[in-house]
A and B are shown apart, each in its own frame.
Chain A
């Protein structure tokens, strides 16, 4: 710490001279910037655009399911092939181009330097490169819809032999574009992750010890490590699948001695840790918000931290619960059932610790707090329904039904959408210097949350009744045709939810220009980002802060204020 301090004072004047007062052109300031805050915005706005595209896709295919064969306003008649492309790319986009950029890349880039009291990431140009690769990957994915044959329709899990052979999937270009886009996205997040981890390890403010790091940063870093440790086999698998598609090898083709189940292992060895890769940052955002708005210290910081590490480790031993019906050895199914049920324990424990944080606090139900509380409630439903699927016996019945679909939407929606809204409503004042409108925020909150439950509770019922996923028209199945009302309810609720997003977009743009000026610390929070100007300038602080205590010193007895920022030296505090 001492060395870091001396380096600081030594370099500060030179830094000011270099960054200080020259005007940058629009391109170098907003498009080719190396500033972590601008890169965070780039990730966030790209993520929002991709979320709108993914939402539009869900609108088209849900309309087809509710009103089969009819022309969908704003899309047209959905053909069978298009239906497959839509569901495939809805899933792909929402996970790889919405959840990951918004939760990890946007908040990670924005918060890591600000919360550890640094002026930027350690590798600003690699940071910029990671966004550029990410943007190219997004463009390739969108282009894949307009190549001959259309977009890939073999589901977001891309199981071979369907995905490996154009004779089966009928999308000779779409499948390869999809694969290249996903692989490039992985490269972007590997580069970003290395930057995140190195920055947190090396560039903390003088005085910031391991247990003074805000929980959201720990969660983003653990997520980055999980991603890095799990994605490798899938990158190798993607190369093999690419060779199968383009060169004509037979890695996954059983006709030629290949093994299609190998892909499932490689995919889910990544795919299951990936759930925690996006879950943990959302959990971290929620932790920051509930502490600030309950005015209480995070209940057992260290236990939450070690629990998150434990979750990450266990998450590498659960992947085959996606393959209970893929013909794996039943003894292996037993093992994976047990590990899967075990992993629900640390997650439940973390939720209990969050609830314990709320206990006895002076809770303020602001918009971000509502989102944070709804995260706990909604994710709980997602977690509990996961138990049915993790047990191999019941999974054989539930596998590939709408029960699975509703389950993971009850996990991913709280993670990606609620987590994002919680974070953006909480940090918007810091990012743009103005407050968002609280009334509009609450209208948007209730409209989204209520509609969300009306979409997916009917789908649980349909799934339990045996309705399978990825089917174009249920009217062709006499046993399922009768439950059309539930499908119409789900689709109607989706329409309501999409309409309510217009309120958010309006609120976002309106507050950007007309919101109440926020000042440095509108929520009276402790972490270091609230000591910078809103929005922080290039370099973040004129003089980088030091850190004197943990991030959650709220309502400390004997202090006049109910918060105690991390950068306030102890000697200015009143004696206890």
Chain B
């Protein structure tokens, strides 16, 4: 109860689940449908166009694999931040959140290097249907990574002051979701050939 006036409505919990956590799950629910629609479209195209396997073989599985490792590690940091927050240790939680955030940044840097090389070789977003999906899906995912990092910095700042520690868990749930989306994108875009 720090920076804003909360209505009584926000403090009630008829379900027993804290309101913020409930809302995050609904956000994730709506996100699942968005990515679900995109990936289902992609899968339908892949089934209808066997030649896309040839296009997909030009992706670099090592870059994708490294990014998977980076994101999974950052998710571990998010769990450690939650663990610290549960024990009321805001400063440690903030540090782990910064670590998670750094993971997100490393992910984006690897992506930037990867995309630069691909674009220089002529695999641009308009090259063909596969590359359109490749950049669109990964691009939307990258936007989620950026949004997550920004929110995480805000929450880390609050956690450092010992405020709103419950939010550490909420951003963690979101971050795991971003991670899981990548777990779907990696095999679909890189491995399936």
Contact = CB atoms under 8 A, between A and B. Distances in A.
Interface of A: 1, 3-4, 7-8, 11-12, 15, 18-19, 113, 118-125, 190, 193-195, 197-199, 201-204, 208, 228-237, 239-240, 243, 247-251, 256-259, 262, 266, 269, 539, 544
Interface string B1-15: 000110111111111
A203 B132 contact: no
A239 B129 contact: no
Contact of B129 (A113, A120, A229, A250): A250
A11 B34 CA distance: 38
Interface in B8-30: 8-17, 19, 22-23, 26-27, 29-30
B22 A198 contact: yes
Contact of A202 (B19, B33, B41, B44): B19
Given A120-B10, A203-B12, 10 more contacts: A4-B13, A15-B8, A118-B9, A119-B7, A119-B8, A190-B30, A194-B27, A197-B26, A232-B35, A240-B136
A125 B4 contact: yes
A240 B41 contact: yes
Contacts, number: 153
Nearest to A118: B9
Nearest to B48: A259
B112 interface: no
B33 A266 contact: no
Contacts of A235: 34, 37
User: What DSSP secondary structure best describes chain A's contact surface?
Assistant: helix
B32 interface: yes
Contacts of A113: 9
B58 to A, nearest CB: 17
Interface of B: 4-5, 7-17, 19, 22-23, 26-27, 29-38, 40-41, 44-45, 48-49, 125-126, 128-129, 132-133, 136, 140
A213 to B, nearest CB: 11
Contacts of B129: 250-251, 256-258
A7 B12 contact: yes
A460 to B, nearest CB: 35
Contact of B9 (A122, A232, A233, A269): A122
Q: Which of B12, B17, B22 has the most CB of A within 10 A?
A: B12
Nearest to B132: A249
A122 B19 contact: yes
A118 B14 contact: no
Contacts of B132: 243, 249-251
Q: Which of B8, B16, B38 has the most CB of A within 10 A?
A: B8
Q: Which of B9, B22, B128, B129 has the most CB of A within 10 A?
A: B9
A329 to B, nearest CB: 13
